[in-house]
A and B are shown apart, each in its own frame.
Chain A
Amino acid sequence: DVVMTQSPLSLPVTLGQPASISCRSSQSLVYRDGNTYLNWFQQRPGQSPRRLIYKVSTRDSGVPDRFSGSGSGTDFTLKISRVEAEDVGIYYCMQGTHWPGTFGQGTKVEIK
């Protein structure tokens, strides 16, 4: 199985400041169709996950533009340009290129 490794696992941030989460895969996530199936999910406390970004950098409808995704191959990043209180939660990357789909361990974002 493809191993997804996130860092850091805990990320204290100051309101209004940027935040960045790294996700690395144990093998390239580029599929034969040329697409890279790497998603980011947000799980707020007590809630189910919500998809923020798919195919590395495409934001889902309704996702604030302070969230952005980037990367290629095996290295990916989720950035929050200015953290707001509602961004507190755990963020997961997930690859959907290789069977079975696998998730990162999660990164807990909290306010300092």
Chain B
Amino acid sequence: EVQLVESGGGLVKPGGSLRLSCAASGFTFNTYSMNWVRQAPGKGLEWVSSINNRGSSIYYAESVKGRFTISRDNAKNSLYLQMTSLRVEDTAVYYCSRDDKMAPALGIDYWGQGTLVTVSS
């Protein structure tokens, strides 16, 4: 069974930093690209970042480019999102998701339960 478990969310002040983690199990992690998608309170879904299976291709939404860094450790079956210079508008539930290996741009077949990041003074 595919499982994605996020951690690391919490309350942080504007301008602060936070590192999210996602522990993957139930599939061969090093053969899948992975994504972060966020959902602001009461709002819709927004793609944040993607990384290919080897970590050699990385993409970011314009809204987080230069502030967020996606990475992975295939030996630990883990995905990460380092968030710096956080803004109030980054407040959201952050979901780790697995790429479905089909779509050229974005394909998601499994989602984690999410971790809440709140940016507030």
Contacts and interface: CB of A to CB of B under 8 A. Distances in A.
Interface of A: 31, 33, 35, 37, 39, 41, 48-51, 54-55, 60, 92, 94-106
Interface in B85-121: 95, 100, 102-114
A78 to B, nearest CB: 16
A102 B113 CA distance: 20
Contacts of A41: 45, 108
Nearest to B48: A100
A99 to B, nearest CB: 4
B117 to A, nearest CB: 15
Contacts of B112: 48
Interface of B: 44-47, 59, 61, 95, 100, 102-114
A96 B44 contact: no
A12 to B, nearest CB: 19
B104 A103 contact: no
Determine which residue in A33, A94, A104 has the highest number of CB atoms from chain B within 10 A of its CB, and name it: A94
Nearest to B103: A96
List 6 A-B pairs, minimum CB-CB distance, nearest first. A101-B106, A96-B103, A37-B103, A99-B105, A96-B106, A48-B111
B101 to A, nearest CB: 11
Given A96-B103, A97-B103, A101-B103, A51 B59 contact: no
Contacts of B100: 51, 54
Contacts of B103: 37, 39, 96-97, 101
